[in-house]
Chains A and B, each alone.
Chain A
Amino acid sequence: MQSVLNAQAEPALHLKYLIVGTVVLCAIIWIMVMIVLAWSLLRAYRSPGEAAPETERRMGRVVLSAAAATVFVITGLTIASFYATGSLGRPESAPVTIKVRAQQWWWQFIYDEPDPAKAFQTANELHIPVGTDIRLELEAADVIHSFWVPSLTGKRDLIPGRRNVLILRADRPGIYRGQCAEFCGLQHSHMALFVIAEDNASFDRWAADQRSEARTPSDGEAVAGKAVFMAKPCAACHSIRGTEASGTTGPDLTHIASRQTIAAGLLDNTRGALAAWIADPQTLKPGNNMPMVPLSSNELRQITAYMDSLR
């Protein structure tokens, strides 16, 4: 799950050590202060409380040493912090680059290739090969968002007009959840993403699949669904490579059925959920940028079948 304490990669592990170490140290400091506080309050019942210049001087020395100890601890923590920053990975060495474009309220992942025919994109699910440093180039399409997959590494903002870089790596295959961390408007709450780390072979297989154009449906219902899709406003906003649908407002749907969730982690990708989403996106995720497209129940079933065929 998406937790700082569930570190699954080296950078996150470094951060976890830093966090746990600092928390323990601070807990000890807190307990010490509390002991002094309790002691000085309880002492009141016993001592007559004569203010003498002698005690005043002694307290002066104690306060001074406590201040010195504070300086010491602060310096230590600062150094630990610099050290942890140093271990977070260097962008120059990353062999793979993926572009992340955040939008209200979904994630676009662009796998660019020198050969444009091999480039492809996907939404809300970022596949990466295990054990490799990935260079993420972070961009925002509209407002500020923040890319955060805590089990892998710390967050980094995506800012309009700027490009940030984040190094991501996963040391073990798995599915890691993340979520937009900077308030980005109405549906900030529903802007999740998944990082899917796989070994090289299955990553390559997946990438090859994604590179291919959309499958042509064979089943009658899905064939009809494709026609409805192209005739209705759907195609104006979504792309399906290999068809005339080439909109860019919404996520690319070329291989939508290969994804596990829809609407940025809101729903599991089942036919039922797809139907519910297409029938009424505004009730499920109020304010999102997909309008309700009026469809008969027949058309809805056909479109759902078509979506389901796009593996």
Chain B
Amino acid sequence: MTGDAGLAEQRIFDLDEGELERRLSETWETPRGIWGALTTVDHKIIGRRYIITAFVFLILGGLLALAMRLQLAQPEARFIGPDRYNQIFTMHGSTMMFLFAVPVMEAMGVYLVPLMVGTRNIAFPRLNAFSYWIFLAGGLLLWIAFALDTAPDVGWFAYVPLSGPQFGAGKRADIWAQMITFTELSALAVAVEIVVTVFKQRAPGMSLDRIPLFVWAMLVTSFLIIMAMPAIMFASSSLILDRLVGTHFFNPAEGGDVLLWQHLFWFFGHPEVYIIFLPAVGMVSSIVSTFARRPLFGYLPLVMALISTAVLAFGLWVHHMFVVGLPQVGESFFTASSMTIAIPAGVQIFCWLATLWDGRPQFKTPFLFVIGFIVTFVIGGLTGVMVASVPFDTQVHDTYFVVAHFHYVLIGGAVFPLLGAIYYWFPKMTGHMMSETLGRFAFALIFIGFNMTFFPMHILGLEGMPRRIYTYQPEMPWAGMNLFVSASALVLASGFFIFFVDVLRSARSGAPAGANPWGASTLEWATSSPPACFNFARIPVVAARDPLWSEPDELTVATGLRTDRRELIVSSLVEAQAEARESSPRNSIWPLLSAIATTIMLIWSIFSPWAVVWGSIPIAIALIGWFWPKQVPEDES
């Protein structure tokens, strides 16, 4: 590493553009073929892989949802029996939350954050590769168990004692708990990478008040992950211990406490919702600004809203537990704090509306999804305020009202922005545009199908239909509406089908995109589509919040990074002044081998506590391989 001066010494003015890119490619390239795929540490390849995998889990989770709706379309239907149904709703919830929603948001961050802050790779790229493999292993574990008819059947919240040793027979709940451990590891790794990338690798001049809002959102989300994970780690390890070696964390007969689980789970589980939602908010901000064709109104309030949402998110887990019989003072506190979170949410909506008010919106597909987001998320937010009230919640808790509420938040509030984001960044990722026509069709079907599917569930809940039931009796007045909901789910699914058709078609034959097809303002659009393996031939220097709008012709660039080694600029925390050059790791097989070793230990530990002892040996070997000191040629500058 050298100081600031080093950058100046290393200027390579004499290289023409083509020669520079050729040399950078040689250094940064991922080898073709299977070996390259297994060893790559390029954040774009890993991010894309991560996104695709998460969407495959969305499809699987969606098929389960359709199966549930088929079973519930008629009273006392015999299509799916209770055992399989309980597995299916557990798999649906777990897949959607742990294998789709959280990972896909992280994956978007893995792909986009380095490009948006103008650096060449994410911090700790090998850890990044490792975290993808671990996530894949956790997902496969769960789905292979499902194929073998031993999937968990205790809900994605896995309440004890139902999931404990006395009632959760077989290995089903253990599989759930270990899948959680996989995703914990993976999420934690990505969170750390993103924090460091944003703090230390921003392009020169991108001071804190010039960071794009999506990057802010990912940063705040990463802190949420880092702070929420310990609770669930403790919870799932205690559950494993209870089940495997007979500890009594959650066994009331032996002095354990059943509610301890719920506190720990929701202390993580509530922030989890914001881990999904905040990145979506960041996506909305990007899309709103681009398609309203004006800088966002209220940058500072938007950032403050992100941060205060994150802080408040930790103060309201108890609103999932209003009916467990807590002291009333506590309930009042959590009612008030849960309602308070509506304020930052409101502020964000108002700022976007103001941006639109003063802008001249272009109604392209990504923007349509943002409009759909505002329409539906406001409903989800308002029903959220409703269930934050203890007396209100004692009637609707664990009914279809809540199912409606959280799908409005999760699909309306996160999946709509995500689909918009895919339409928006697809050209960057692939170099091809998606189809406007198909996009409009997909949007219309998804938006209408979604509301037809989930709006009636509010009413079903008020009419007394509990959730997590595999059937209901014909004398209950729910049959007609359930049939309608099930039919509507098909409309929704057909919208998703068109979306996927569009993705597959456009990836091969969509119109060429060009570097900046939407005329957007942030750095990821300053490089070619798809970006070269080194992201930017010359690292841009940022002098404004919307660099591509304020300097439309040519960005100033920083030079001085070597071309024969993988080098990044390290910049200062607040002002993002270039401080040093640092080398970024090369491709390596060790992250994959470490992930395999970790997977063996985690799966083995479902069956024997000794796995923790013997299983750590291969992990140690793999980690030694990973971190073995390399002979780095001295910097000869």
Interface residues of A (CB under 8 A from B): 1-5, 14-15, 18-19, 22-23, 26, 29-30, 33-34, 36-37, 39-41, 43-44, 47, 49, 51, 55-56, 59-60, 62-63, 66-67, 70-71, 74, 77-78, 80-82, 84-85, 88, 138, 142-144, 146, 148, 150, 153-157, 159-162, 164-165, 177, 179-189, 192, 265-266, 286-287
Closest 5 A/B residue pairs (Cβ): A161-B252, A154-B394, A81-B389, A189-B469, A2-B464
Assess whether B448 is interfacial by the CB under 8 Å rule: no
| 11 A-B contact pairs sorted by A residue (CB < 8 Å) | A5-B462, A19-B396, A47-B360, A49-B358, A56-B358, A82-B335, A138-B325, A144-B161, A155-B398, A160-B258, A164-B325
Q: Report the bound CA distance from A80 to B350 in whole Å.
A: 25
Q: Report the bound CA distance from A33 to B511 in whole Å.
A: 37
Name the contact of B162 in the complex, choosing from A14, A63, A161, A184 (C-beta under 8 A). Answer: A184
Name the contact of B385 in the complex, choosing from A26, A63, A181 (C-beta under 8 A). Answer: A26
Name the contact of A63 in the complex, choosing from B328, B331, B347 (C-beta under 8 A). Answer: B347
Question: Which residues of chain B are within 8 angstroms of A192 by Cβ–Cβ distance?
Answer: 473
Nearest A residue to B255 via CB reads A161
Nearest B residue to A144 via CB reads B159
Asked if A30 and B379 sit within 8 Å, CB to CB, the answer is yes
Assess whether B466 is interfacial by the CB under 8 Å rule: yes
Asked if B358 and A19 sit within 8 Å, CB to CB, the answer is no
Q: Report the bound CA distance from A160 to B256 in whole Å.
A: 10
Q: Report the bound CA distance from A29 to B386 in whole Å.
A: 13
Q: Report the bound CA distance from A56 to B359 in whole Å.
A: 11
Question: Which residues of chain A are within 8 angstroms of B359 by Cβ–Cβ distance?
Answer: 44, 49
Assess whether B134 is interfacial by the CB under 8 Å rule: no
Given contacts A51-B294, A78-B335, contact A70 B342 (CB under 8 A): yes
Asked if B392 and A67 sit within 8 Å, CB to CB, the answer is no
Question: Which residues of chain B are within 8 angstroms of A153 by Cβ–Cβ distance?
Answer: 394
B108-165 at interface with A (beta carbon < 8 Å): 154-155, 159, 161-162
Assess whether B81 is interfacial by the CB under 8 Å rule: yes
Assess whether B472 is interfacial by the CB under 8 Å rule: yes
Name the contact of A15 in the complex, choosing from B336, B349, B392 (C-beta under 8 A). Answer: B392
Asked if B258 and A161 sit within 8 Å, CB to CB, the answer is yes
- B333-352 toward A: CB 8 Å interface, digit per residue (1/0)? 00110011011001101110
Nearest A residue to B82 via CB reads A186
Question: Which residues of chain B are within 8 angstroms of A265 by Cβ–Cβ distance?
Answer: 473
Asked if B395 and A40 sit within 8 Å, CB to CB, the answer is no
Asked if A59 and B297 sit within 8 Å, CB to CB, the answer is yes
Question: Which residues of chain B are within 8 angstroms of A286 by Cβ–Cβ distance?
Answer: 81-83
Nearest B residue to A59 via CB reads B354
Q: Nearest Cβ in chain A — how far from B255, in angstroms?
A: 9
Asked if B462 and A4 sit within 8 Å, CB to CB, the answer is yes
- B470-481 toward A: CB 8 Å interface, digit per residue (1/0)? 111100110000
Q: Report the bound CA distance from A144 to B335 in whole Å.
A: 23
Question: Which residues of chain B are within 8 angstroms of A180 by Cβ–Cβ distance?
Answer: 466
Q: Report the bound CA distance from A286 to B331 in whole Å.
A: 38
Asked if A78 and B328 sit within 8 Å, CB to CB, the answer is no
Which residue of B350, B383, B386, B471 has the most chain A CB atoms within 10 A of its CB atom? B350
Asked if A181 and B399 sit within 8 Å, CB to CB, the answer is yes
Assess whether B623 is interfacial by the CB under 8 Å rule: no
Asked if A156 and B325 sit within 8 Å, CB to CB, the answer is yes
Question: Which residues of chain B are within 8 angstroms of A161 by Cβ–Cβ distance?
Answer: 252-253, 256-258
Q: Supply 6 further A-B pairs (C-beta < 8 A) apart from A144-B159, A148-B466, A181-B397.
A: A4-B395, A84-B389, A142-B161, A142-B167, A162-B258, A181-B466
Q: Nearest Cβ in chain B — how far from A65, in angstroms?
A: 9
Asked if B298 and A63 sit within 8 Å, CB to CB, the answer is yes
Which residue of B259, B325, B339, B343 has the most chain A CB atoms within 10 A of its CB atom? B325
Asked if A15 and B395 sit within 8 Å, CB to CB, the answer is yes
Question: Which residues of chain B are within 8 angstroms of A181 by Cβ–Cβ distance?
Answer: 323, 397-399, 466
Asked if A63 and B301 sit within 8 Å, CB to CB, the answer is yes
Assess whether B435 is interfacial by the CB under 8 Å rule: no
Name the contact of A77 in the complex, choosing from B257, B324, B385 (C-beta under 8 A). Answer: B385
Asked if A29 and B336 sit within 8 Å, CB to CB, the answer is no
Name the contact of B468 in the complex, choosing from A55, A56, A183 (C-beta under 8 A). Answer: A183
Name the contact of B357 in the complex, choosing from A33, A34, A40, A154 (C-beta under 8 A). Answer: A40
Asked if A187 and B394 sit within 8 Å, CB to CB, the answer is no
Nearest B residue to A25 via CB reads B382
Q: Report the bound CA distance from A62 to B469 in whole Å.
A: 46
Assess whether B512 is interfacial by the CB under 8 Å rule: no
Assess whether B6 is interfacial by the CB under 8 Å rule: no
Given contacts A19-B392, A181-B398, contact A71 B83 (CB under 8 A): no
Given contacts A2-B464, A3-B463, contact A85 B476 (CB under 8 A): no
The stretch that binds A, out of B54-62, B370-378, B563-571, B572-580, is B370-378
Asked if B464 and A1 sit within 8 Å, CB to CB, the answer is yes
Question: Which residues of chain B are within 8 angstroms of A41 by Cβ–Cβ distance?
Answer: 356, 361, 371
Question: Which residues of chain B are within 8 angstroms of A34 by Cβ–Cβ distance?
Answer: 375, 378
B267-326 at interface with A (beta carbon < 8 Å): 293-294, 297-298, 301, 323-325
Asked if B343 and A70 sit within 8 Å, CB to CB, the answer is yes
Q: Nearest Cβ in chain B — how far from A197, in angstroms?
A: 18
Q: Nearest Cβ in chain B — how far from A154, in angstroms?
A: 3
Name the contact of A160 in the complex, choosing from B161, B388, B390 (C-beta under 8 A). Answer: B161
Q: Report the bound CA distance from A165 to B324 in whole Å.
A: 10
Asked if A59 and B358 sit within 8 Å, CB to CB, the answer is yes
Asked if A157 and B325 sit within 8 Å, CB to CB, the answer is yes
Assess whether B36 is interfacial by the CB under 8 Å rule: no
Asked if B339 and A183 sit within 8 Å, CB to CB, the answer is no
Asked if B162 and A183 sit within 8 Å, CB to CB, the answer is yes
Q: Report the bound CA distance from A49 to B343 in whole Å.
A: 29
Asked if A146 and B323 sit within 8 Å, CB to CB, the answer is yes
Question: Which residues of chain A are within 8 angstroms of B335 by Cβ–Cβ distance?
Answer: 78, 81-82
